[in-house]
Amino acid sequence: MTNQVIEAICSRRSIRKYSDRSVETDKLVTVLEAGTYAPTGHNRQDPIIVAVRNSGIIKTLSRLNAGIMGTDSDPYYGAKVIILVFVPKVEDNPNAVQDGSLVLGNMMLAAHSLGLASCWINREKQMFSTPEGKLLQERLGVDPAYEGLGALSLGYPLKPNPKPLERKKDYYRIID
């Protein structure tokens, strides 16, 4: 059984090499809107989504993230857009991590369906916990009661998606 949604799910890959082509605003807005349609516990719609195209801020994000990783490489792989997702602290919303994760997943599938590439990037929680990260979070207009959950590098892929790896045996089970 196939349809467009299943095809997008099965063909999407995390991409770590981007072209220099800029992401059109209408496509970026479509990706962001898709994130807002992710289910959230009790329909609280708590996650905050911030898309960054400003090259100076992207450089700062890259430096902070690389510092957490202990490297000086670009953890966002040269993407033209970084999408950050912030969520309330778990003590304020026990569904925060799940809600934000679904937002990121929706945006990854939407990006792929539009011919864009993405990769989920970690370490945003640690980044925005640092003094410099807290200042940046404030500059981005995000309530300090929120914490970074994850990010997407977003752009046009440098080359076609690789073939999927073989799925492991016993990945799922049906119990009748």
pLDDT single digits (tens) 102-146: 999 999 999 999 999 999 999 999 999 999 999 999 999 999 999
> Which segment, 11-15, 40-44, 102-106, 162-166, is predicted with the most confidence on average?
102-106
Judge whether 65 lies within some domain. yes
Judge whether 160 lies within some domain. no
Residue 8 has pLDDT above 90, yes or no: no
Q: Which residue range is the domain that position 146 belongs to?
A: 12-155
CB-hemisphere CA count at 13 Å for 12? 21
Mean pLDDT for 61-84 is 95
The edge-to-edge listing of strands for the beta sheet with 117-121 is 48-52, 81-88, 146-155, 117-121
Domain count, the chain: 1
| CATH number assigned to the domain comprising residue 20 | 3.40.109.10
Q: Are 21 and 156 in contact (CB under 8 A)?
A: yes
Judge whether 6 lies within some domain. no
Helical packing angle, 25-36 and 96-113, nearest 10°? 140
Distance in angstroms (rounded) separating the CA atoms of residues 46 and 80? 26
